[in-house]
Amino acid sequence: MEFVMPAFACIIVVFGLIKRVPVFDIFLKGAKEGMQILYNIAPTIIGLVFAVDLLRSSGAIDAICNFIEPVADYLGFPKEIVPMVLLRPVSGSGSTALLTSLYEQCGPDSFAGRVASVLAGSSETTFYAIAMYFGCIKVKKIRHTLFAAIIADITAAVMSVLTVRLYFGIS
Amino acid sequence: MLNYVWSGLVIISIICSVFLGNTEDLSKALVDSGASSIELIITMAGIICLWTGIMKIAVESGLTSVFAKIFSPLLRPLFPNLDKNSDAYKSISMNISANLLGLGNAATPFGLKAMEQLHTLNNKCDTASNEMIIFVVMNTASLQLLPTTLASLRQSYGSSAPFEIIVPVWISSACALAAALICACTLNCVKRKER
């Protein structure tokens, strides 16, 4: 599936050529606007990477997991993926690291491996996206965005267990 | 809101590291995070500039209007107050199509552009508009049709059927998206009445 991205870019450029627009000149204009966007989101990125790095190195995630795991176990939620549920909203690379270590331990086709895969496929780095999208336009009052996004994360976590159970049979 | 989340993350980490005796790791992370964030920004710089450039071509050639027409039935009910011919509408369509194709890297620049245009429509006020909330929430729930990165990761760890999780992924992300949109739309309506 590696051809999707080049194909997408290629279609746009070819379409531009057909419509006889000066593609390269326009590309440069757009790229310059990209620099402006980057300039606006750079402080947000620095702030977030800082907070997430602190969180990961402090052992806070493990400490919280120790409290949640018994509850998760009781509810039939595989406890191996609790750290991933917690880290997923704040760090894409961090949750991918957890996903690969889980694949190594349990295997990608195990129950926990499948649930973790579905979770990774159906959720996003929520806080990161919110901070970046609102940070680039300096909007501070985000109203109920965070609440709705957390609802999405919780739904994804619950549904990943349910769908794997239903689709692959109860294990 | 984000002020509390951010300071909460920092404070929890520092308190935990003191109690768990991880202060050494923490101070190392504190120093390293500067370098790793700049690294991330440089990686993103190339991606963002490339895709905003490509996007500009799509806008000038009228291709974005085509995408906007395709997604119109989907976007109409979600953004009832947004003009069909506005730039923001087109950027949102581009963002959705990139997301559906699994091009997360391309989707982000389109999304940032869309936010800028929504901001202009919102008279550059510092409070998020209803459209912004719905758009960001849509982006925080994953919209992928083909989770290719995930499948290749599964394959590299020896999965016998890397794509077998695709149906659960669809159902699960559709539910997450629906839950988020219902929540955002309901609150949008409630808060509008309050005003």
**pLDDT, tens digit (0-9, with 9 covering 90-100), for B56-71:** 899 889 888 888 888 8
B173: which chain A residues are within 8 Å (Cβ-Cβ)?
121-123, 156
| Sequence ranges of the domains in chain B | 39-194
ipTM comes to 0.87
B183: which chain A residues are within 8 Å (Cβ-Cβ)?
144, 147-148, 151-152
Task: Give the C-alpha separation, B129 to B115, whole Å.
Answer: 10
Cβ A130 vs Cβ B134: under 8 Å: no
Is B14's Cβ below 8 Å from some Cβ in A? yes
Task: Give the C-alpha separation, B97 to B68, whole Å.
Answer: 10
Cβ B51 vs Cβ B110: under 8 Å: yes
Residues 92-111 of B with CB under 8 A from A: 98, 101-103, 105-106, 108-109, 111
Residue B43 has a pLDDT of: 85
Is A104's Cβ below 8 Å from some Cβ in B? yes
Candidates A28, A121, A130; nearest CB to B150: A121
B90-143 tens-digit pLDDT: 999 999 988 887 777 788 899 999 999 999 998 878 889 999 999 999 988 877
Cβ B143 vs Cβ B155: under 8 Å: no
Q: DSSP character for B41?
A: H
B7-33 tens-digit pLDDT: 998 998 888 888 888 888 888 888 888
Q: How far is CA A34 from the centre of its chain?
A: 22
One digit per residue, the tens of pLDDT, for chain A of length 171 reads: 567 778 888 999 999 999 999 999 999 999 998 898 888 888 888 988 888 888 888 888 888 888 888 888 888 888 888 989 988 888 888 888 899 999 999 999 999 999 999 999 888 888 888 999 998 898 888 888 999 999 999 999 999 999 999 998 765
- C-alpha distances in Å from residue B166, one per residue of A90, A105, A139, B55: 24, 22, 36, 29
The per-residue pLDDT of chain B, averaged, comes to 87
Confidence of residue B168 (pLDDT cuts 50, 70, 90): very high
At residue B177's C-alpha, the angle toward residues B93 and B116, to 5°, is: 40
Determine whether the interchain pair B22/A49 forms a contact, defined as Cβ–Cβ distance below 8 Å. Answer: no
B107: which chain A residues are within 8 Å (Cβ-Cβ)?
none
**3-state SS, residue B45:** helix
Residue B33 distance to chain A (closest CA, Å): 5
Residue A80 distance to chain B (closest CA, Å): 17
